[in-house]
Amino acid sequence: MPSPLTPQDLAAIGAGTLEHYNQRADDFREGTRGHDVSQNIAALLAHIEGEPPFTILDFGCGPGRDLKTFTDLGHVALGLDGAERFAAMARAYSGCEVWQQDFLHLELPVRRFDGVFANAALFHVPTQELPRVLRELHATLKYGGVLMSSNPHGNDEEGWNRGRYGAYFTLETWRRHLTATGFVELDHYYRPAGLPREQQPWLASVWRKAGT
């Protein structure tokens, strides 16, 4: 077992990862502008029960690409990102409210959202902090609400990768974390679609908060 991360370790992980994104915000926006995540957006919306429009938290919204998509589809979307430059970009691009919050220091309202869209975000949370963060996301969903997450998968490795901290789980490990939090699995798939597994770096999964 690795040694527990200290508060100083966690502060360095958060600051270093956010600095990486802030310094490369323009390049990141241009490099991801054309990424097609419509499969993930559709997976979230298809599993939310009730009548739209839905209230969606885009967790790790980056420059606001998907935030604007949700808004254009008629939903009430709100963004959250830890990087100051991303939060500013997302506000300007989408016209939505965007909260600048570090993933390790969240302040989320209780039972506010029908869905949480965490696309390429939660893998930045160190494993030892993941249960707490998942509980906070669980709490901010309404009963019956849906979490959609997409992360690069791996063999449970964790550490710095090209200037960013990440944890890369197997499906089995990811399932254990989510089910321990109280989520019920609705679906999972690997992306991009239609390719051999070794060419599908992304694991997407959809989960419901049980209860009424």
Question: Which three-class secondary structure state does DSSP give residue 86?
Answer: helix
pLDDT band at 185 (very low <50, low <70, confident <90, very high): very high
Q: For residue 14, what are its two tokens?
A: 């958060």
CA–CA separation, 155 and 173 (whole Å)? 9
CA within 13 Å, CB half, 187: 18
Joined tokens for residue 73? 């589809």
Interval 94-144: pLDDT, tens: 999 999 999 999 999 999 999 999 999 999 999 999 999 999 999 999 999
Q: Give the pLDDT confidence of 16-62 residue by residue, as tens digits.
A: 999 999 999 998 898 888 888 999 999 999 999 999 999 999 999 99
CATH architecture under which domain 7-209 falls: 3-Layer(aba) Sandwich (3.40)
| In the chain, domain spans | 7-209
Residue in the block written with tokens 């420059």: 63
In this prediction the pTM is 0.95
